[in-house]
Structure 1
Amino acid sequence: MEEQAYQQEASPEVRKRITESFERQGLMRHLGARLAHIAPGRVHIVLAGRPEVTQQHGYIHAGATSAIADNAGGYAALTLFPADADVLTVEYKINLLAPAVGDHIEAVGTVLKSGRTLTVCRLEVYGVQGGKRTLVATGQQTLICLS
């Protein structure tokens, strides 16, 4: 998909479907994650850096980083699925490139290939400190469309 397509917002119907699904996720609520951007084939999720989501060295925990990356990709895929469909992750791999530090982290899920049954997404997570973004994790994910 072209970068220009990611600048647009998803339709109100898609935004509502994504938001309602996201709000049903206990883990995202527990972590304090929030949807920051919903576009066709692209979703951003933000997680504030606070003591409750850190590990023993003060970095944002890899589990929290991975969870919001997984969700960003899943919801990016869902933006392109039929209105009556749902999504489940089949597999994902994430590489942790640097300690996740900052005011917050931002996961970006981007659809690489949307298929009738399987969809593949790129996952990126950035540490954001004072407006400066640093890539802290990258990965790839395969999802299944449930109708």
Structure 2
Amino acid sequence: MISDPLDPAIEAKVRESFARQSLMRLFNAQLDEVTSGTAKISATIDERVQQQQGFAHGGFVFSLADSAAGYAALTLLPMTNEVMTAELKINYLSAGKGRLIAEGRVLKPGHRLVVVAADVWAEHEGARKHIAALQGTMVPVTT
């Protein structure tokens, strides 16, 4: 999928916002890619974010997907806006080990509501597995 070029000022704003997220720092997450209407975040599943069986904890998966979807929304908003999550639904499809990649995208942009989605993939021992699908609504807020 080819997306529209992203205004460098918007990309800088998104990356600066991501850098302020203490939860993403706690996870050692990286904002790997930002384009118009999309964002990709990755993080390794280490002992701090595992559930009792050694797989990625659902809260960790959810947080990465929420942030990827939110930053995808932010790429389409004016410089004076930030976003907040209004509601999200997630389906956990499989357990994950290794490294997670959350790929967020905008389904429907808007001035009052932005409908978003994110898919989370686990990469482990050369295999890539779809482990979660999220859909929700972000609300633009003035900073």
Q: TM over 0.5: same fold?
A: yes
Residue 21 in structure 1 maps to residue 14 in structure 2 = no
Equivalent pair of 1:73/1:109 in contact (CA under 8 Å):
yes
Structure 1 letter corresponding to 2:85: T
TM-score, normalized by length of structure 1?
Answer: 0.92
> Partner of 1:135 in structure 2?
130
Structure 1 segment 7-86 matched on structure 2, within 5 A: 10-86=6-82
Residue 126 in structure 1 maps to residue 121 in structure 2 = yes
Q: Which moved more, 1:54-63 or 1:130-139?
A: 130-139
Equivalent pair of 1:95/1:137 in contact (CA under 8 Å):
yes
Structure 2 letter corresponding to 1:139: L
| Identical positions, percent | 37
Q: CA RMSD in A?
A: 1.2
Structure 2 letter corresponding to 1:16: A
Gaps of 5+ in 2: none
Gaps of 5+ in 1: none
Q: Which stretches of structure 1, 4 residues or more, deviate above 6 A after TM superposition?
A: none
TM-score, normalized by length of structure 2?
Answer: 0.94
> Partner of 1:4 in structure 2?
2
Structure 2 letter corresponding to 1:127: A
Structure 2 letter corresponding to 1:14: I
